[in-house]
Structure 1
Amino acid sequence: MDLINIAQETFHIEADALYKMAERLDQNFLDAIELIIATKGKLIITGVGKSGLVGAKMAATFASTGTSSFFLHPTEALHGDLGMIGKGDTLIAISSSGESEELTKILPHIKRFDIPLIGLTGNRNSSLAKYADVFLDISVEKEACPLNIAPTTSTTLTMALGDALAVALMNKRGFEKEDFASFHPGGSLGKKLFIKIKDLMQTESLPIIDTQTTLKEAIVAMSEGKLGTVLIVDEADKFIALLSDGDLRRALMQEGFSLEHLAIDYASKNPKSYHDT
């Protein structure tokens, strides 16, 4: 049994399904985009099992790329969470067979809310396809699973379709990196664009000494400040030098070193500074 070949075949099967999906995209895809663009409320994603897991990921992707979205579990919907749906919302329902019991039970209630329904299913004759205002075909020739049972190819294809919708919507809306960063303030891009020096810097209880402070006194101030450094200011209280623990280590190696010397003699002078705007 060559497991490398098996793994490669899995990639080939799923990649082939993606290529075929790309080739069969039609007006229905564009109709789905227009429905979502016209949505005044939330874009709600629902599904059970593996489809539900894919749906949760899709909702997260939509939400982080400019389309307000959340995932709704069909079973929870039947027990009160239908109240999360409102006028102006649009629903995407996912089911490979289009006949998932939990999902089909909520379809009549979705229609009662009179909101658009986009159905992602591999069965165009299914209950989901018939209820849907827009049908997107997620059928696959076969699963990568050797038993052709476990959702593998189908879940990959469905997730890719969700990505395609999200990316198309980003382009339609003119979604920029600044918009992305605003939804990801904890990420690298968000920090670069939104976190200012003033948000990070310590401004209270700073260890500050003057130009006449000895190195011995500076070490005491550095220890009390617990920042590993002291700031040196001139007679006008202008910041002119920085004495760090690294400066101290280098000072110890200098000939004639003395704790009674002035700290300014061992400090890094004219340090770079930045004024936040």
Structure 2
Amino acid sequence: MLNHNKKIKSILTDVFNHQIENIERNKSILNEQLCDIVTKIYECKGKLVITGVGKNAIISKKIVSTLISTKQNAYYLHGNDAVHGDLGVINEDDIVMLISKSGNTYEIKKIINFLKKKNIPIIALTSNSRSFLALESNFKCIYNIKKESSAGNIAPTTSLITCQLIGDAIAVALMNLRNFSAKDFSEVHPGGALGLKLNKAVSEIFLKKTQVCTNDSVFDVILEITKSRLGATVVIEKERVVGIITDGDLRRTFQSNINLEQMSAKDIMTRNPITIAESLNLKESLEIMNEKKIMHLVVIRDSNYLGLLHMHDLIDLGKND
């Protein structure tokens, strides 16, 4: 059994190493052509249709699923269905991505002929730069596969992971171009963990209560921020919130070459921080953070300080989604 497991571990290690080497090798596709593909999709007035056959159909569906979940107008079309009547779903304002390792399958050729007649832009995702797909496309992403990780170079493995990675990279780039936020994510995931939890009131989640007094030293402030791990602490005077100190405030203080021993919390704090009532829901709290471009909100109840809400608290809610 020991020798058997040793052999299995060796095989698994070889597969992992092969995939890692392949990813490193394919960094060369991070070029202007791929940037042009992202831009073309971003500027598309219609929808992005992604199609493939066999295992590439599964990858196509996964990429579309990611795009749709991030509010990108996308549609999955199986290659076999496409050539048997479903090409009618493609409109003149759309753009079509075809995924095919060989780029020469029967379905791919038929789909391309249809698209060319309609003057619909074609994006090629293939490993064959001389294929029908690559030569007839308007935009191309040619990935480099020396061999699959499967025994005998038979089962598509490495090629699928590469296509998936490229699809994910495109999706994330589009998310950033559209400033897609956690709030946007919650809107299209009302049944998911993040969508459900962002509708809760602030009072329903655990808040860390981190604070210092106005006369506390800068050293005390550093200790408190480090202890709370929130990247900030609230400044209290006579049981009232008068300011907030973030790690950014500390950095600016250190860079000013001022004698820190002569400074206290009130000297480096940001006065009158933004506060919210505990009854506010988490989605509205996130909107305030995005609008004000801040990471923290001070939570109060009738002017009494309850705790500090960090944006990461909201992001962490959806980790199990």
What's the TM-score, normalizing by structure 1?
Answer: 0.69
Contact kept, 8 Å, 2:29 with 2:143, in 1: the verdict is no
Q: For 1:119 and 1:74, locate their aligned partners in 2 and report how far apart those are by CA, in whole Å.
A: 14
Given that residues 95 and 122 in structure 2 are in contact (C-alpha distance below 8 angstroms), is that contact kept between their aligned partners in structure 1? yes
AA in 1 matched with 2:38 = I
Aligned residue among 102, 106, 111 for 1:101: 106
Deviation at 1:274, TM superposition (A): 6.2
Structure 2 distance, partners of 1:275, 1:87, is 45
Contact 1:35/1:116 (8 A) holds in 2: no
Q: Give the Å deviation of 1:275.
A: 8.9
Q: For the Cα contact (< 8 Å) 1:64–1:183, is it kept in 2?
A: yes
Amino acid at match of 2:158: T
**Greater CA radius of gyration, 1 or 2?**
1
Q: Which residue of 1 aligns with 2:73?
A: 68
* Separation in 1, partners of 2:112, 2:127: 17
Report the equivalent of 1:39. Answer: 44
| Cα separation, 1, equivalents of 2:122 and 2:98 | 7
Whether 1:118 and 2:123 are equivalent positions in the alignment is yes
Displacement of 1:149 in angstroms is 1.6
Report the 3-state secondary structure (helix = DSSP H, G, I; strand = E; otherwise coil) of the residue aligned with 2:72.
Answer: coil
Q: Is the 8 A contact 2:109 2:132 kept in 1?
A: yes
Identity %: 38
**Contact 1:185 1:194 (8 Å CA) reproduced:** no
**Letter in structure 1 aligned against 2:32:** Q
Pairing 1:158–2:146 present: no
Contact 1:36 1:43 in 2 (8 A): yes
Residue 33 of structure 1: how far off its partner (Å)? 0.6
Distance 1:119 1:31 in 2: 12
Q: Name the TM-score, length of structure 2 as normaliser.
A: 0.60
Gaps in structure 1 of 5+ consecutive residues:
198-272
Distance in 2, Cα, partners of 1:275 & 1:22: 45
The structure 2 residue matched to 1:50, chosen from 37, 52, 55, is 55
C-alpha spacing 1:187/1:275, structure 2 compared with 1 (3 Å):
closer
Question: Shift in Å at residue 194 of structure 1?
Answer: 3.7
